[in-house]
Amino acid sequence: MNRSEQSMLGRLSRCGLTAALLASALMAACSPRRLMAVAPTPSFVFRSLDLSQRADNGDRDWDLTSPEARYDLSSRTIRARRPEGLLYQNDQPRYRITADLATVLRDGELVVLEGSVQLRQLNQRGLTIEGDNLIWTPSQSRMVINQRPKANDGQTQIRSRELTFQQDSEVLVFSGPTQLNRVDQTSAASTVVRGGSGSWNLKSGLMQAPGPVEASRTDGRTLSASGLNGNTREGYLDLQQPVTLELEGDRGRITAGRTRWLFSEKQLQSDQPVQADLKNSNVQGTGFKLDERTGTVIISSGCRMQQKTAFLTARRCAWNWRRERVVADGDVVLRRTNPEQITRASRMEAKISEDGEIRFGQSGARVESTIKLSPAAQEKPRRPRVSF
């Protein structure tokens, strides 16, 4: 065996490589040299490839196998077909990786995977990261997917211009325009969230996207916020103010401060000031809870409802935009301007007309009304003059 072959095998053994070498490659490499002739750089073809890397403490770091590979001695490059690999954490398999082709540069300093690249988490969630091109730097525990990257855990899918996976911390960084898709498991509706850059911790579920975000549902509802953060494993995202929700069918707009989106429970809730703008009405208060399943918004406290000819205050109020029904509870006071009338009750109900006006009636509870008549109406009628 000549020195070049010894050097090559030494480098591969340090990288953890074992392979079956074709006899034809050895024969070509061992042919006698001619004087004054430049010998071609040997290229070795392996029937199988098994690369393994260990951490400084001796734990397994990653493995990569292939049924067929070629090694170029001068460039120290391995090209392998149908590679498969395992990434370890605490000496236990954590991710499985597959691709169509692999190029291992400088005896493992850099690995490039191409064609149908898939990195799958080996747990019950089974999160999968996919793309067409992955650049892997093992010494930095970093993988970059820059061609059609996406990540999917079965409920949430992220598509971005570029995904960077930090293997040691299990943090996924998405860069550039990003789209997050969520499918409603109980109906055919789905939600698409569009934003900029951010990060997602696959171990803890923490997600951050500081840039402006917009969400739209297939049923026509839209939502916007200045940013979001939350925890996908615990089932919530916190939308940063200002938060605006446009209801389907032009039924109204809700504007609020910081709002928590409990997407698993299909609810939005906040303890911040909130305002709902309807066609001909304006409702304000502090704190709200929106239930997407029933189509109901509850303003928790300090409810104030303003119309052209009426003003209502109550401790709290609820609005069902699908049934066009409004309920006010607790120390309800309704003031009308034409005629001047004040009505008090513990509870009042109303229907929203087609023109957007809220028309209150009584729900059977006792009410107290005060009507102020105009001076002209209070004036006694004059008796007709009598003549004989």
Convert the pLDDT of each residue in 281-330 to its tens digit: 889 999 999 998 898 999 999 999 998 888 999 999 998 988 889 999 99
Q: pLDDT band for position 190 (50/70/90)?
A: confident
Copy the structure tokens of residue 227. Answer: 């940013």
pLDDT digits 0-9 by tens, 264-283: 788 999 999 999 988 788 89
Cα(157)–Cα(75) distance, rounded to whole angstroms?
Answer: 39
57 CB-near residues (< 8 Å, 6+ apart): none
In single-letter form, the type of residue at position 43 comes to: S
Which pLDDT score, from 0 to 100, does residue 74 have? Answer: 83
Q: Is residue 371 part of a domain?
A: yes
Q: Is residue 233 part of a domain?
A: yes
The total number of residues shown for the chain amounts to: 388
Q: Are residues 233 and 330 in the same domain?
A: no
Q: pLDDT band for position 187 (50/70/90)?
A: low
Q: Are residues 109 and 21 in the same domain?
A: yes
Copy the structure tokens of residue 172. Answer: 């996924």
Taken in order 292, 296, 297, 302, the sign of the CA dihedral is negative
Q: What is the CATH number of the domain that holds 75?
A: 2.60.450.10
Q: Is residue 214 part of a domain?
A: yes
Which pLDDT score, from 0 to 100, does residue 339 have? Answer: 77
Cβ neighbour number for residue 321 with a 10 Å cutoff: 20
Q: Is residue 110 part of a domain?
A: yes
First and final C-alpha spacing in the chain? 150
pLDDT of 36 higher than 50: no
Overall domain count for the chain: 3
Is 160 within 8 Å of 145 (Cβ atoms)? no
- Of 83, 115, 148, the residue at which a domain comes to its end is 148
Which pLDDT score, from 0 to 100, does residue 43 have? Answer: 66
Copy the structure tokens of residue 103. Answer: 């190029």
Cα(209)–Cα(195) distance, rounded to whole angstroms?
Answer: 7
pLDDT of 33 higher than 50: no
Q: Are residues 197 and 247 in the same domain?
A: no
Average pLDDT over residues 180-206: 83
Cα(388)–Cα(374) distance, rounded to whole angstroms?
Answer: 36
Cα(155)–Cα(185) distance, rounded to whole angstroms?
Answer: 8
Copy the structure tokens of residue 125. Answer: 């969630």
Q: Are residues 120 and 14 in the same domain?
A: yes
Q: Are residues 177 and 229 in the same domain?
A: yes
Q: Are residues 201 and 131 in the same domain?
A: no
Q: Are residues 102 and 134 in the same domain?
A: yes
Q: Are residues 248 and 352 in the same domain?
A: yes
Q: Is residue 255 part of a domain?
A: yes
Mean of per-residue pLDDT scores for the chain: 82
Which pLDDT score, from 0 to 100, does residue 8 have? Answer: 46
Output the pTM of the full model. 0.74
Q: Is residue 386 part of a domain?
A: no
Cα(46)–Cα(8) distance, rounded to whole angstroms?
Answer: 14
pLDDT digits 0-9 by tens, 334-368: 998 877 889 999 999 988 877 667 887 655 455 55
Which pLDDT score, from 0 to 100, does residue 380 have? Answer: 53
Rounded alpha-carbon distances, angstroms, from residue 297 to 2, 226, 245, 268, 276: 81, 22, 12, 9, 10
- Of 240, 261, 278, the residue at which a domain comes to its end is 240
Task: Quote the domain boundaries for residue 210.
Answer: 169-240
pLDDT of 5 higher than 60: no
Q: Are residues 362 and 250 in the same domain?
A: yes
The residues that bridge with 173 in the sheet, in sequence order, are: 164, 199
Q: Three-class SS string for the chain? A: CCHHHHHHHHHHHHHCCEEEECHHHHHHHCCCCCCCCCCCCCEEEEEEEEEEEECCCCCEEEEEEECEEEEECCCCEEEEECCEEEEEECCEEEEEEECCEEEEEHHHCEEEEEEEEEEEECCCCCCEEEEEEEEEEHHHCEEEEEECCEEECCCEEEEEEEEEEECCCCEEEEEEEEEEEEECCCCCCEEEEEECCEEEECCCCEEEECCCEEEEECCCCEEEECCEEEECCCCEEEECCCEEEECHHHCCEEEECCEEEECCCCEEEEEEEEEEECCCCEEEEEEEEEECCCCEEEEEEEEEEECCCEEEEECEEEEECCCCEEEEEEEEEEEEECCEEEEEEEEEEEEECCCCCEEEECCCCCCEEEEECCHHHHCCCCCCCCCC
Q: Are residues 15 and 131 in the same domain?
A: yes
Q: Are residues 2 and 120 in the same domain?
A: yes
In degrees, rounded to 5, the angle at the alpha carbon of residue 76 between the alpha carbons of residues 73 and 79 is 95
Q: Is residue 77 part of a domain?
A: yes
Q: Are residues 226 and 251 in the same domain?
A: no
- Of 240, 275, 298, the residue at which a domain comes to its end is 240
Q: Is residue 59 part of a domain?
A: yes
